[in-house]
Amino acid sequence: KKQLIKIGDRVDLYLGTGPVYRTMLEDITNNKNLLVSVPIYKGMPVSFAKNQELQMYFYRTNGRYRANVKMVGYQHHDQLTFLELQVLSEPQKQQRRDSFRINEELKVVMSYIDNDLVFDRLNSSEDDREVAYSINISVTGIAVKTKKAYSVGDKVFMRIYLMWPDAEAEPLEIIGEIRQVDMINPLQKVYNIGIMFLYTSKEVSGNLSKYVMAREQKRLKQKRLVEDD
């Protein structure tokens, strides 16, 4: 959208799984493609395949926006190399909560992410991982009871065990940001934390949406049965 994204804006690129690569919008071509700096990951430039599709996130004062983009090639200018990205969709503002939440206790394995430049789900050791349990969940976020003292703005990598559509299903892997911290038991140092999902693939979002809807329909059916009795 006109003037929505600007040269100099911070940009995050996500493949749908794995790390998030942070870069910057350096220029806009005559055909409206975006030129961004080549991201650096673990000290090395990140390589992208031609025609590879990615999710691009950028930020305005009123929130975060997402657009689908495609890597169309590299451009070289004065010994600098840029990724050229074709925008495939209109930027959409990410809503803080665009779906209702259901009360659900799910196993959640959480790891604190201590590198704000690159979110690497493989950085944490076994000692850094915490097994916690959810209070409620929606397509856009989750509330978790934890004994670790997180701060608002912290990033976490989560494995959420929906066990859906069957018990053999793999846990969902999601990066989230702490948006709310409430101490509920000062003596035992127990906290309720609200986490907004930052980066999810279409598959993960679809599974979450179907799960939440199925659980809500089951709840309403049980409620009607009770009321009929």
pLDDT in tens, the chain (229 residues): 456 888 999 898 988 776 788 899 999 999 999 999 999 887 889 999 999 999 898 888 777 788 899 999 999 888 889 999 999 988 888 655 445 788 899 999 999 887 544 455 444 555 578 999 999 998 889 999 999 989 988 989 999 999 888 888 889 999 999 998 988 877 888 999 999 998 777 788 888 888 888 887 777 777 666 556 5
Classify residue 221 by its DSSP letter: H
Instruction: State the Cα–Cα distance between residues 113 and 120, nearest whole angstrom.
Output: 7
| Rounded alpha-carbon distances, angstroms, from residue 166 to 144, 160, 169, 209 | 23, 14, 6, 16
Question: What letter represents residue 191's amino acid?
Answer: Y
Instruction: State the Cα–Cα distance between residues 134 and 48, nearest whole angstrom.
Output: 36
Closest CA to 141 of 60, 206, 198: 198
Closest CA to 41 of 122, 109, 111: 122
β-pairing verdict for 102-103 and 129-137: antiparallel
Per-residue model confidence (pLDDT) at position 117: 45
DSSP 3-state of 212: helix
Per-residue model confidence (pLDDT) at position 97: 47
Closest CA to 212 of 98, 50, 107: 98
Instruction: State the Cα–Cα distance between residues 81 and 76, nearest whole angstrom.
Output: 5
H/E segment holding residue 24: strand 20-28
- How is residue 26 written in tokens? 């350096």
Report how many helices (DSSP H) and strands (DSSP E) the chain contains, helices first: 1, 17
Instruction: State the Cα–Cα distance between residues 130 and 156, nearest whole angstrom.
Output: 11
